[in-house]
Amino acid sequence: MSGNHTRSTPPHSVRVVAGTTVVELHGEIDLCAAPSLVSRLDALTAGTCPDLVLDLTAVSFIDCSGLGVLCRARNRVLARHGRLRLVTHSTRFLRVLRAAGLAGVFEMHPCLPESLTAAPRPGVVPVAAV
């Protein structure tokens, strides 16, 4: 990883589809990106019974602070009797989870459920794009 960081937050977009919040993350989830991502995910998991999907398919790198962000989101969701799903098909990311002792901790999916990938329609509300 290069030492030249010119951004402080990973690009992400958020949308709500039929009560499920889908966060699409891009780029690196590292020490530089973690604080703003924690703030955003804390806001998204503040209510009761949050249903959150983190789409990591476009994430190119995650470090231990990024894993901490995911664990924090998981703990907040479970404490509020909600559901958190991670979407990735990256064998590298799955190896990182195993190495960190987090294999089996998250509900994992290789792709977004079709009901969450459909084109916008009634019930789909764009929340934010950054």
Q: Distance between CA 73 and CA 77 in Å, rounded?
A: 6
Alpha helices in 45-113, H assignment, sequence order: 64-79, 91-99
Q: What tens digit of pLDDT does each residue of 36-58 get?
A: 999 999 999 999 999 999 999 99
Say how far apart CA 5 and CA 80 lie, in whole Å. Answer: 35
Distance CA 24, CA 13 (A): 5
- Quick check: pTM over 0.85? no
Residues near 7 by beta carbon (within 8 Å), at least 6 away in sequence: 27, 32, 33
Q: Residue 49 in contact with residue 17, Cβ under 8 Å?
A: no
Query: What residue ranges of the chain have pLDDT lower than 70?
Result: 1-11, 118-130
What's the CATH class of domain 40-120?
Answer: alpha beta
